[in-house]
Homo-oligomer: A and B are copies of this chain.
């Protein structure tokens, strides 16, 4: 529960994620929360299903924390991503970044969500009114009609 970079099947406790980065040296915490949106380009989502290779995904989330530390001074990052069945308005991901000054917290939090979509092996299956589709990569440029790539395929990239 105390891990700063976590994949979970449970509803995310936003406060707990924020508390992991609040500290005396920080004056700012930027939090980005991704929620399940009902409509995308006029198409209605009924619910989503997220799937991840947990160990690999947590390692990549932790790597994003390291990248932030290389780029911004005195930052502390926590990221939790939920997997499994998510309904409309459910929280899929929470990023919290604390820094001494506010500008850095905004920039680093923004960086984190973009990097999650680039490098973390998490897929979402859209369940629309008229069908389903696995969406991946995370940048949403590639779709898998049938299934997501195997863990072995991922390691061969």
Q: Which residues of A are at the interface with B, using a C-beta cutoff of 8 A?
A: 14-15, 18, 22-39, 88-89, 91, 98, 100, 102, 105-106, 109-110, 113
A36 & B32 in contact (Cβ 8 Å cutoff):
no
21 A-B residue pairs with CB within 8 Å: A14-B15, A18-B33, A22-B33, A22-B89, A22-B91, A23-B89, A24-B38, A24-B89, A25-B39, A27-B35, A28-B32, A29-B33, A29-B35, A30-B31, A30-B32, A30-B33, A31-B33, A35-B98, A106-B106, A106-B109, A106-B110
Q: A14-B14, A89-B23, A106-B110 are in contact. Are A100 and B37 (CB under 8 A)?
A: yes
Q: Taking the full assembly, how many copies of this chain does it contain?
A: 2
